[in-house]
A and B are shown apart, each in its own frame.
Chain A
Amino acid sequence: MKLTREMLGGTPLKENDFDQGKVLFYDDALRTAYNWDAGVAMGKFLAGLKQGKILGVRCRKCRRVVTPPRMFCEECFSPIEEWVELKDTGVVDSFSICYVRWDAGRIKKPELPAIILFDGADHAGILHLLGEVDPKDVKIGMKVQAVWKPEKERTGSILDIKYFRPLS
């Protein structure tokens, strides 16, 4: 039973089939807005960001210090109650040089997303952006520091950190 094109269902369309009126279509937009409860752990983390602090938690059983904070340890399933203030410095675990926006549009000046593992945490960190650095000079293992927005501009959001820059 060898596959042939005739056996296969499917009618491919081209982009301009729509513009040329060859195929009917219906446009719609999702009308959703969410008001998410931040939760016990995330709420406190975001409040910490507003104060210019990076908070983590320690699992008493596993002895791991992790961030983003969570109320329960996902590895041993114990409740977590111990909070730790971490330094706002860390190490680049991986990075990319990205020329594409979230909606697939192109940008000229690339963004530098990176995973930053915080000093004081056990191989734990967050996704953020790098700044004040030439893409050519970024290396895995590079030490970085958070650059914060001025206190009155902070709202309790991940964007209270503008980006991470190399530790000079």
Chain B
Amino acid sequence: MKRVAIVSAGITKFMRRAQETGRELSFHAANMALKNAGMTLADVQCVAESTAPDAFDGVHMNGEYLSDGSGGWRKPYLRSYVGGGSGVFVTIHGWYQVASGMFDTCLVVASEKMSSCHPHPQAAFLNIFDNFIERPLGCNLLWIFALEMNRYMTVHKIAHEQIALVSVKNKKNALDNPAAQIPEKITVKDVLNSEVLAWPVHRLDISPTSDGAAALVLASEDVAYKYTDKPVWIDGVGWCLDTAYWTNKDLYYPRYVEKAAAMAYKMAGITNPRKEIHVAEPYDPFDYKELHHMEGLMLCGKGEAPKLTEKGVTQRDGDLPTCPSGGLLGVGNPIAASGTMKVAEIFWQLREEAGERQVTRKCQTGLAQAWGDLMQVGTVVVLRK
């Protein structure tokens, strides 16, 4: 198995609605990543692409449609998709194509155009529910998150104020991210006073739907130094899918994230994640999710993530800076691209190229995690410089 590095990254602005087609968005991110590595399309040996359900952009076989913008013309090209987990999973997909020794370079592209779904992408999510015994109830994606958030808060006796701190932190972090869609300075009170959509979920607990794309260039150890003098190595990968019978499990703890993390930590030789991970980008489509995933990632004990947040440990100047990019809450949530954005952020953080977002502590090892589907998938990558 070859060692694989990320040698470059690219990203577009994340926005509620882009004029660009999905193809044009993919091109902007992919082109930026290639240019930053000093590469042309001819240097790309294969392409790993990801985009969320065809239902959003309303283009059937969206992966094939986006292939031209993703550099896939006449190349070995494959789309992978695991819901929101895609952005990190496509990095893993690119990783194993290079680790296998079959290819020296891989262009990883994740792109999303959710705004085509009219009047709101929310309507497409209805179809995630069971067609026989759930959809007739008129469900709404917010229900699943609200049910999970309520369970998490009740089992661990966590107050909404503690959870709201995450939204405050991430939206503030996003002020330093030029790609961010809705960076803003808010308070815990603002979150609790914002419109109740599906109690306990308030409007400011949620990340927005977005259009956007992100890309990475992966290279094997044999050629990585041709493209950069600071490669960031993918030292651990893990992924895990849980049952689709989501009403049969206890939602308070994401055991599928734990399994994915265990797989990645084993590969990276990590035995004490809290101490050995220096910067983390867990998936935060809702503020409570960052806490939920921190526990699943075993960065702290069950129910303890809110305490770390309260103590400031997860701030950029803390001991375990979490979501320094601004996360999905601040930057935006174009489903597949958001995970890849997190990988790109850890890439820039480890190379000390994150500008105003650069975390204070010295970092050797970072982690990006994404989640998806019906409370099902955990995908994790561990990166080292």
Contacts and interface: CB of A to CB of B under 8 A. Distances in A.
A and B touch in the complex (CB under 8 A): yes
Given A12-B13, A13-B17, A96 B122 contact: no
Contact of A96 (B120, B126, B146, B179): B146
A80 to B, nearest CB: 13
Contact of A104 (B16, B122, B355): B122
A23 B19 contact: yes
Interface in B236-253: 243, 245, 247-251
A74 B16 CA distance: 39
Nearest to B176: A3
Contact of A7 (B32, B151, B195): B32
Interface string B124-137: 00100111111011
A9 B13 contact: yes
A95 B123 contact: no
A63 interface: no
B100 interface: no
B245 A4 contact: no
A115 B58 CA distance: 32
B143 interface: yes
Most chain B beta-carbon contacts within 10 A, residue among A10, A95, A115, A127 = A10
Contact of B36 (A1, A27, A124, A135): A1
Given A7-B32, A12-B15, A12-B17, A94 B151 contact: yes
B142 interface: yes
Contact of B143 (A98, A126, A159): A98
A113 interface: yes
A36 B177 CA distance: 46
Nearest to B177: A3
A13 B19 contact: yes
Interface string B229-266: 00000000000000101011111000000000000000
A95 B150 contact: yes
Contact of A34 (B120, B126, B131, B147): B131
Q: Name the prevailing secondary structure of the B interface residues.
A: mixed
B248 A124 contact: yes
B138 interface: yes
B143 A127 contact: yes
Given A9-B25, A96-B147, A98-B143, A36 B119 contact: no
Contacts of B190: none
Given A7-B32, A10-B25, A94 B150 contact: yes
A5 interface: yes
Interface residues of B, number: 68
How many A residues touch the partner, as a band? 35 or more
Nearest to A68: B133
A95 B355 CA distance: 43
A104 B382 CA distance: 37
Contacts of A15: 17
Interface string B345-366: 0001000011100000000000
Contacts of A99: 195-198
B73 interface: no
Interface string B1-34: 0000000000111111111100011011101100
Contacts of A167: none
A74 B248 CA distance: 11
Contacts of A97: 196, 198-199
A27 B29 CA distance: 27
B142 A98 contact: yes
Contact of A11 (B19, B154, B354): B19
5 contacts: A10-B20, A30-B55, A38-B132, A70-B245, A96-B147
Interface of A: 1-5, 7-15, 23, 27-28, 30, 34, 36, 38, 42, 45-46, 66, 68, 70, 74-75, 93-104, 110-111, 113-115, 117, 123-129, 135, 140, 157-159
Given A102-B138, A113-B137, 15 more contacts: A1-B348, A1-B353, A8-B178, A9-B31, A12-B19, A68-B130, A70-B245, A94-B148, A96-B201, A100-B140, A102-B139, A113-B143, A117-B247, A127-B143, A158-B133
Interface of B: 11-20, 24-25, 27-29, 31-32, 36, 55, 58, 118-120, 122-123, 126, 129-134, 136-140, 142-143, 146-148, 150-151, 154, 177-179, 195-201, 211-212, 243, 245, 247-251, 348, 353-355
